[in-house]
Structure 1
């Protein structure tokens, strides 16, 4: 694997606000690393731990695809589109911020923390009509196999976004190996180990490590312990509106 970047868990930015503990893979808020602004169209990957009963007050977004994947606990969501929902472990939520939205997110539990991944993707077009989508996934569908949880297609499995991207998740038992073939061979891959340890191309990745790579049409992973993986297949070129 010639073109790759390793992101070790302990190399991420970290912010401790008391009620919020957040690890930042890419520059975010007060964390700035000029070598880690984005990976292709992947702009934000935050690993958040929100204290019981706490959360983010109402705040705005625009022209970004925002994906939330709870890992533990529940998240109460309200937005300016009129949605008021609770996102639970096993759900995935997406907001196409487009021309602009406001929303709030709070830990819906008073007795335990909520852990989630928040992911921002640059969309392939700007100023779309804002939209919201939330679905519940079945963890059995990813046992020792890839489960598609996001795509560019409204009629396909999982949620969809305004970008030529696919997300897959897998729960692998120790010793199991999986192959993945890219949907679009011009895309890159950002592989994030949620739990466990794996090997890929003779590299060892542990809990919360990540590997970004490109100019590959397929790859394989092998779990060295029981593992949970998130694979993000994404365009490597930024949209023209960010360049021009």
Structure 2
């Protein structure tokens, strides 16, 4: 088993005044040849968007895009003027397929909205674009991983066009998770939203992440109350 820990302060930083971002992998003007992706995860960005601002319209193709507000509510606008409000406690999955043009906006509040955005390469390209959303907060139970994204059609789960699974996990101090992969050949990327955990003898802090390759299970122990985001994805 190989476990790599990546610290929050090792992420690239972008600052535009009205938008602040941290990049875990190469993105926009930031390029790191050893941090281009993890398996099929191409992007893991943490973004803070000031109130009254929006990004320019931009087009995505052949990408599965997951957006999770961490603080505040985020609007997504499309080229036809449609609006989708993604509230704190919800997750949106946008399957871009043949192409969709969108903008992220924080026009309903004077306070900054912070969110995670994850891009995952799809298993099948050139499909019809789709957008779906799930309210997950009421479904989360302490110390039990809550499945929010899956390749299978299930109730209260978003279906992704990839052999990938995503979970939200709230942990009590001292609790442990023995995670078993759903699929041989996958790897595991864990992002610590809040709190601190131990994995493979290392401490992983708030906004750090760790990546596991070459094993089918890993044990995580919470050093304090923690919220984790787990991505199980194909390594290649």
Both proteins in one fold, TM over 0.5 = yes
* Alpha-carbon distance in structure 2 between the residues aligned to 1:48 and 1:96: 20
Question: Does 2:233 correspond to 1:234?
Answer: yes
3-state SS of 2:9 partner: helix
* Alpha-carbon distance in structure 1 between the residues aligned to 2:34 and 2:191: 18
Q: Structure 1 residues 81 and 219, CA, compared in 2 at 3 Å: closer, same or farther?
A: farther
Report if aligned partners of 2:3, 2:200 keep a CA contact under 8 Å in 1.
no
Q: How does 1:176-195 map to 2 (within 5 A)?
A: 176-195=175-194
Question: Does 2:98 correspond to 1:99?
Answer: yes
Q: How does 1:197-208 map to 2 (within 5 A)?
A: 197-208=196-207
* Alpha-carbon distance in structure 2 between the residues aligned to 1:46 and 1:152: 22
Unpaired segments ≥5 residues, structure 1: 238-244
How far did 1:78 drift?
Answer: 1.9
1:177-232 deviations in whole A, cap 9, x for unaligned?
A: 12211111210000110111000111100011111111211112111111110010
Q: How does 1:90-239 map to 2 (within 5 A)?
A: 90-139=89-138, 141-155=140-154, 157-237=156-236
2:2 alignment counterpart: 3
How far did 1:36 drift?
Answer: 0.5
Question: Does 2:17 correspond to 1:18?
Answer: yes
1:66 alignment counterpart: 65
Report if aligned partners of 2:140, 2:170 keep a CA contact under 8 Å in 1.
no
* Alpha-carbon distance in structure 1 between the residues aligned to 2:200 and 2:156: 29
Deviates more, 1:193-202 or 1:137-146: 137-146
Report if aligned partners of 2:194, 2:206 keep a CA contact under 8 Å in 1.
yes
3-state SS of 2:140 partner: helix
RMSD: 1.4
1:47 alignment counterpart: 46
1:4-31 deviations in whole A, cap 9, x for unaligned?
A: 3221111100001111110000000011
Q: Tell me how many residue pairs correspond in the alignment.
A: 236
Q: Structure 1 residues 20 and 82, CA, compared in 2 at 3 Å: closer, same or farther?
A: closer
* Alpha-carbon distance in structure 1 between the residues aligned to 2:154 and 2:205: 34
Report if aligned partners of 2:140, 2:168 keep a CA contact under 8 Å in 1.
no
Q: Structure 1 residues 139 and 171, CA, compared in 2 at 3 Å: closer, same or farther?
A: farther
TM-score (norm 1): 0.92
1:78-128 deviations in whole A, cap 9, x for unaligned?
A: 224774211011100011111111011101433211110000000011101
Deviates more, 1:108-117 or 1:136-145: 136-145
* Alpha-carbon distance in structure 2 between the residues aligned to 1:221 and 1:56: 37
Deviates more, 1:225-234 or 1:131-140: 131-140
* Alpha-carbon distance in structure 1 between the residues aligned to 2:108 and 2:79: 23
Q: Structure 1 residues 205 and 194, CA, compared in 2 at 3 Å: closer, same or farther?
A: same
TM-score (norm 2): 0.95
Q: Structure 1 residues 235 and 157, CA, compared in 2 at 3 Å: closer, same or farther?
A: farther
